[in-house]
Structure 1
């Protein structure tokens, strides 16, 4: 089977996606380092824990939610644990299960970094698009995400 090369419009879309993703992540990482001493994966991890009602999540579920390897998640949790932002607990319903738990210090770190994070995301993406463009972007990326998740790639 011959590979189908990207045509001009497809290549333009692909390169724009890559460049925008990389540039936005660079700005987000810089802001998070400056405002909270966090990396983007650590901020995302703290956010996911904060969104749960009891501020805790099984490590396996957290890895899936973050699209991270188990070893990568373990490393991030270890770093956050050393900083006092997360702690690990054994799951009461399953002795093999480990929970990542957001600490009060972790919640404070998240609250400290969140305003700057929101500002960077708004200034560099959200506020540049009108409502129809945002809906189209969300729909398009959601479709790609659903395909990738159903294909077992995250």
Structure 2
């Protein structure tokens, strides 16, 4: 069990390293690219900052700073949330779409060669299992409830 988790983390770290280096060629940092991608894939090309923070695994302060930088670059704009006076949406701008379109082709090639090509006919099964793991982990945002110690043979 611990080996599987370790391999998952190592694979993710290696992919992240390669992708960060690859995205530098496009002039976008990974966090900015991820922000633009999440917005592009969202309904209306906008999303609440709190939702973006959870999806990008950053703090609310971190998402505020990221959106501030993106806004200063003209990649996103803020819109007030109509049902929450304190909340706001980040909205993808035309410039943000253009920068994403420029970065995406190389990024997709790298994803395919480093990740998707390794899955072959197991792609849908693996993606389904990863979604289940993600969704299960989201049920316990502060860690698993106290269920007692884990038996050594399960490690």
TM-score range, shorter chain: 0.7 to 0.9
Matched, 1:138 2:93: no
Aligned to 1:149: 138
1:153 Cα deviation after fit:
4.4
Give a deviation string over 1:35-69, Cα, whole Å, max 9, x none. 2x212222111111112232221111222232321
Equivalent residues in 2 for 1:89-100, closer than 5 Å: 89-100=79-90
Which TM-score applies when normalising by structure 2? 0.82
Q: 1:101 aligns with which of 91, 104, 119?
A: 91
- Please report the RMSD computed on the Cα atoms of aligned residues, expressed in angstroms: 1.8
Alignment of 1:76-87 (within 5 A): 76-87=66-77
- What are the within-5 Å matches in structure 2 for residues 56-135 of structure 1? 56-132=46-122, 134-135=123-124
Structure 1 unaligned residues grouped into runs of 5+: 1-9
State the TM-score, normalized to the length of structure 1. 0.83
Describe the SS at the equivalent of 1:125.
Answer: helix
2-side partners of 1:23 and 1:57: how far apart?
29
Alpha-carbon spacing, 1:113–1:142, altered in 2? closer, same or farther (3 Å): same
Task: Kindly provide the CA deviation profile for residues 96-131 of structure 1, in whole angstroms up to 9, marking residues without a partner as x.
Answer: 221111111000010001111101110101012222
Work out the number of aligned pairs and report it.
143
